[in-house]
Structure 1
Amino acid sequence: MADEQAGGQPEPAGSELAGNPTVLVVDDDASNLASIQKIFQRDGMRVLTADSARTALDLARSHRVQVVLTDLMMPGTSGIELMRALKQVSPDTEVVMMTAYGTVETAVQAMREGAYDFVEKPLKRMTIIKSVRKAAERQSLVAENRSLKQEIKLLTRREIVGSSPALRRVLDVATQAAPSSATVLVLGESGTGKELLARYIHERSTRARGPFVAVNCAAIPESILEAELFGHERGAFTGALTRREGRFARAGGGSLFLDEIGELSPAVQVKLLRVLQEGEYEPVGGDTQRADVRVVAATNKDLRAEVSAGRFREDLFYRLNVIAITAPPLRARREDIPLLVDHFLGVYCAKNNRSRLEAPREVLARLLDYPWPGNVRELENVVERAVVLCRGDRLSVDDLPDAVRDVAEATPSTLTFSVGTPLDEVERRLIRETLRYAHGDKSLAAQLLGISTRTIYRKLGELEGGASPPAGSTGS
């Protein structure tokens, strides 16, 4: 028997209000079922009734039910078994158990398994109304919390935006590499989206259902990085009070992204090499374990130069460098800037509860002219700042940082050379003019010229017979 007092058609998702919940009453006793139905109807609730677990599950599938009030002891399927099945069909639905004297202990066990409350028979009108109302309030809060978390996840989910040839070439390689088990090395300047590329590869791999675990090797102190990556046993060192699994274990069945791989100490480099060669590792103070992960590494350093300088193992470099992908700097994909601006406006207008803003032509012109030494990350920060400071429904040039707003004043001059000008003279003038435009910042000048900082020092040394690269700078 099923009596749908709320109406004959399934109700659309989200139509129920916490103050007027839909309650499903389940009891094999027809008189008890009718009595409870009247109590809830008089209190203004929507009521569905079922005399068996099977009918109750069918109603839960076709209606948005906030609370199920079910008898604990029923022939065939018990109230606890029904609750377990309901949680599979409708995880947010709260369950209140009706129990007779002598089965309270079983009802308590049901609460341990997920029931919200239990009420004892003979039922009292105010008791069941109060219990079901509170269960409905909890269900509403849980559902709202889950919805908000999903909205935040969608807002904060980062994605690769753009259609420039430079970006398409990189994504083509990443798409081809993704289904394989090969280790991937993602190269590129800071802020170019190396982690986004790593996630892109993971999501298109055979390990997409597994976890994606990211580790910034430069952000973890060298003294604890080994234990953080490989885990440790209790008592392995002072302060190791409990056993802890490392990032390799957490990434089991998925992908491990090692950012700033060039910052690894020699000792950790050796252990990582063993993982890549043998597929196994040893937690600090523990026994050998198998590593079921796909490694994607990233760096903004020139690892070949690091190998030449003796700071990075050559054998590890070749193990990592099976497939190398270079994330293009923003200056190499300027045609993507309007798309990125539009994307970030959508994200940060929603995040700051603002109506959608527009970026007029004069704003886009400044953004297109700026050299973006911080790449996409810097552009994102600039757009977020502009959204917060904008007072109208369109961005203005005044909403931009000084460096971006005044870019027109710093636009580099155009160089012209007569046919037959010696190449070293062209190189000298080009480097000097770029340095003037970059206000003497050799790192920025190197980025604009598409060369490394070490190379610009070497060129200056060759052209002017003096300067040499500072210790620790990288080259190409």
Structure 2
Amino acid sequence: MTKFGWQLTASNILPAENLSTIHIILNEPGDRTKVQSILRREGYTVQSFEDGEVLLKSVSLSPPDVILIGIAPPGVGSLEILSRIRHLRADSMIILLADSARGDFSYRAMRLGAHDVILEPNPPERLNTAIQNALKTKELIQETKKLKNELRLRGDFDNIAGTSPGVCLVMDDLRRLSESEIPVIFRGEAGTGKELAARALHYNSRRADDPFYTINCAVLRRESAFDDVFAPILRNSLKRDRRMDSQRLRSNGRTLFLKEIDRLEPALCGKLMEHLGPADKFHIGRFGPPLDIRIFLSVRTGAQNPADEGNPIGELMGRLDPWEVHIPPLRERGGDIEHLANFFLSGIRSETHRPDLHITREALRVLSAYAWPGNIRELKKVIRQASHTSEAPAIDVMDLVSIPYE
């Protein structure tokens, strides 16, 4: 029996599907020995420590998957160990063992970043459940980091392909704006890549590790629409801001992309203005706290570019005074057609496992002569369709079924 009233037997702990590493520092030597023996029999790689400083040194060199800490480990207090591990930025999941009389201890431990606190008394399965949940949570965190890294790679400036003068001007603007916090409006025809440019700017700014929210203003129709779409942002923001003050101060903020703001219903434009408080701080809800949100907007332009004056967004533009970035249409980027076609082909080659897939010079000539009313979005669609049409490694003119040619 441990001091927590558990009879630790092999049946209490379910076998681990994969080898995971666990570090243990408990109050009593007998507890450390028993827990270590049980976990090792279940396939875990376990290391027990008799001193907090030795544990911290080991974590700094090679963080384990899970750390079990008793309420009064030798050498260093449990809360100090927890705090110092978090300062090491180790990704270990920490479980603390405590007695039921220490409710305040449990609260402080969770505030410091403990994954779980196991209080006495508990059924024998409680330790197993805590370890399994910790490992699953760590797996989800790693997957989230992987996905965020993929998003960052997609938002890399290198994904804005092209060397034409118009694209070079866009890139110059984006690099300057990545060091700034001012609002930005992206103007361009449908399919030119306004959202791609907005994401690239976000993921190359100091906000890269924080959320990028997109709201398609063209589909909002009810006055309560903003309350509905802002609700997830508010929930996420409140969760992030419940951290310790020191962590909250390091949180750089979020980016909100208001897509196709020019197609927003006039009545809703006034509703949106209500969310802008003093000093143009963004609020979720009329009485909500100001949030650190950088605002991006996009306007779809056509043959005639509507002036903001007299337009429902005119007052909003005057309030935000955003920097304007013009995304050129593809017909003004003739020299980029080959670059873009090969850029899209590189992705298709990876997806379809066809490393020899390429496009002929004659097909490129046809693509370069086309006017591209659908811009980059249309070019990407044409290349993808042609890759499916062509059974040969080379995409030729006959494979460009949706492009008129002579």
Query: Contact 1:213/1:257 (CA < 8 Å) preserved in 2?
Result: yes
Distance 1:243 1:174 in 2: 28
Aligned equivalent of 1:259 = 259
Per-residue displacement from partner, 1:124-180 (whole Å, max 9, x unpaired)?
9xx899679846863674366346534653575474222222210232244445555
- In structure 2, the residue matched to 1:431 is none
**1:254: how far off?**
5.1
User: How far, CA to CA, are the matches of 1:166 and 1:148 in structure 2?
Assistant: 33
Query: In 2, are the aligned partners of 1:207 and 1:253 still within 8 Å (CA)?
Result: yes
Residues 248 and 399 (structure 1), Cα distance of their counterparts in 2 relative to 1, 3 Å cut: farther
The 1-side partners of 2:70 and 2:315 are apart by 67
Deviation, structure 1 residue 218: 1.1
Superposition pairs of residues 62-141 of structure 1, within 5 angstroms: 62-75=61-74, 77-79=76-78, 82-83=81-82, 85-86=84-85, 89=88, 92-96=91-95, 103=99, 113=110, 114-115=114-115, 134=132, 138=136, 141=139
Q: Quote the offset at 1:329 in angstroms.
A: 1.1
Which residue of the partner structure matches residue 187 of structure 2? 187
What is the rounded CA distance, in whole Å, between the counterparts of 2:74 and 2:142 in structure 1? Answer: 36
Q: Report the residue type matching 1:361 in the other structure.
A: T
Relative to 1, partners in 2 of residues 1:185 and 1:320: Cα closer, same or farther, differing over 3 Å?
A: farther
Deviations 1:240-286 (A, max 9, x none): xx999699999x95554333232234445556679889745998994
Calculate percent identity across the aligned residue pairs. Answer: 23
Q: Secondary structure at the residue paired with 1:373?
A: coil
Residue 330 of structure 1: how far off its partner (Å): 1.5
Q: Secondary structure at the match of 1:24?
A: strand
Give the Å deviation of 1:26.
1.8
5+ long unaligned stretches in structure 2: 1-15, 241-251
**Equivalent pair of 1:390/1:396 in contact (CA under 8 Å):** yes
3-state secondary structure, aligned to 2:59: helix
- Return closer, same or farther for 1:21/1:211 CA change in 2, 3 Å cut-off: closer
Q: Deviations over 1:21-75 (max 9, x none)?
A: 3232223545654565566556654333311222212212212412323334324
Paired residue for 1:327? 327
CA distance change for structure 1 residues 146 and 309 in 2, over 3 Å: closer, same or farther?
closer
Long gaps (5+) in structure 1: 1-16, 232-241, 410-476
Q: TM-score, normalised by structure 2?
A: 0.65
Q: TM-score, structure 1 length as denominator?
A: 0.57
Distance in 2 (CA, whole Å) between partners of 1:39 and 1:275 is 56
Is the 2:178–2:204 contact (alpha carbons within 8 Å) kept by the matching residues of 1? yes
SS at match of 2:405: helix
| 1:51/1:349 CA distance change after superposition, 3 Å | farther
Which amino acid is the alignment partner of residue 298 of structure 1?
S
Partner of 1:451: none
Over residues 403-450 of structure 1, what are the superposed CA-to-partner deviations in whole Å (9 max), with x where a residue is unaligned? 13xx433xxxxxxxxxxxxxxxxxxxxxxxxxxxxxxxxxxxxxxxxx
Are 1:408 and 2:405 an aligned pair? yes
Checking the alignment, whether the CA contact within 8 Å between 1:187 and 1:300 is kept in structure 2 is: yes
CA offsets per residue over residues 321-377 of structure 1, 9 Å max, x none? 764332111122233233333433444555x47465632335544543443221112
Contact 2:210 2:253 (8 Å CA) reproduced? yes
Structure-1 residue corresponding to 2:395: 396
Superposition deviation, residue 288 in structure 1: 9.9
Aligned match of 1:21: 20
- Quick check: 281-290 or 53-62, which moved more? 281-290
Structure 2 vs 1, CA of residues 117 and 284 (structure 1 numbering), >3 Å: closer, same or farther?
A: closer
**Change in 2 beyond 3 A, CA 1:366/1:56:** farther
Higher relative contact order (CA 8 A, sep 6+): 2
Q: Give CA deviations for 1:363-406 in whole Å, capped at 9, x if unaligned.
A: 544543443221112223344455667767x46349955213xx
Mapped to 2, the partners of 1:243 and 1:64 lie a distance apart of 33
Conserved? CA contact 2:25–2:50, under 8 Å: yes
Change (3 A) 1:398 1:272: same
Name the amino acid aligned to 2:339.
L
In 1, Cα distance between the equivalents of 2:333 and 2:263? 28
User: What number of residue pairs does the alignment pair up?
Assistant: 370
Q: 1: distance between equivalents of 2:141 and 2:180?
A: 39
Contact 1:306 1:312 in 2 (8 A): no
Equivalent residues of 2:63, 2:91 under 8 A apart? no
Within a 5 Å distance, the mapping from 1:337-376 to structure 2 comes to: 337-347=337-347, 352=351, 354=353, 356=355, 358-362=357-361, 364-376=364-376
What's 1:442 paired with? Answer: none
Q: Which moved more, 1:364-373 or 1:26-35?
A: 26-35
Report if the CA contact (8 A) 2:220-2:264 is conserved: no
Change (3 A) 1:266 1:164: same
Whole-angstrom CA distance in 2 between matches of 1:307 and 1:75: 71
User: Does the aligned pair in 2 maintain the 1:93–1:139 contact within 8 Å?
Assistant: no
Q: Quickly say closer, same or farther: Cα 1:309–1:66, change in 2 above 3 A.
A: closer
CA–CA distance in structure 2, aligned partners of residues 209 and 176 of structure 1: 19
Structure showing greater radius of gyration is: 1
Distance 2:116 2:293 in 1: 40
**Cα distance in 2, alignment partners of residues 313 and 136 from structure 1:** 48
